Amino acid sequence: MTSEEARQMIEAEKRQREADCFAEIRAVLEKHNCALIPVTVIRGDDIRQTLEVTAN
């Protein structure tokens, strides 16, 4: 296996894990009738972006 093939395999595994995590998170949010909402807080030059859980 070349280093490029190894890199591609690692990237494919990473994408699959991310997809699996997304599906699990979405299932839990749907089960509890909740959603993630993006929140941006700006204080002067400090900008913070987060996700918060909200009940629908």
Number of folded domains that form the chain: 1
Q: Which domain holds residue 10?
A: 3-55
pLDDT of 7 reads 97
Whole-angstrom distance, CA of residue 51 vs CA of residue 53: 7
User: pTM of the full predicted structure?
Assistant: 0.68
Q: What pLDDT is recorded for position 39?
A: 97
Residues in Cβ contact with 50 at an 8 Å cutoff, skipping those fewer than 6 apart: 38, 39, 41
pLDDT tens per residue, range 1-56: 899 999 999 999 999 999 999 999 999 999 999 999 999 999 999 999 999 999 98
Q: Which pLDDT score, from 0 to 100, does residue 19 have?
A: 98
- Return the pLDDT at 28: 97
Residues 40 and 26: their CA atoms lie apart, in Å, by: 22
pLDDT at 51: 95
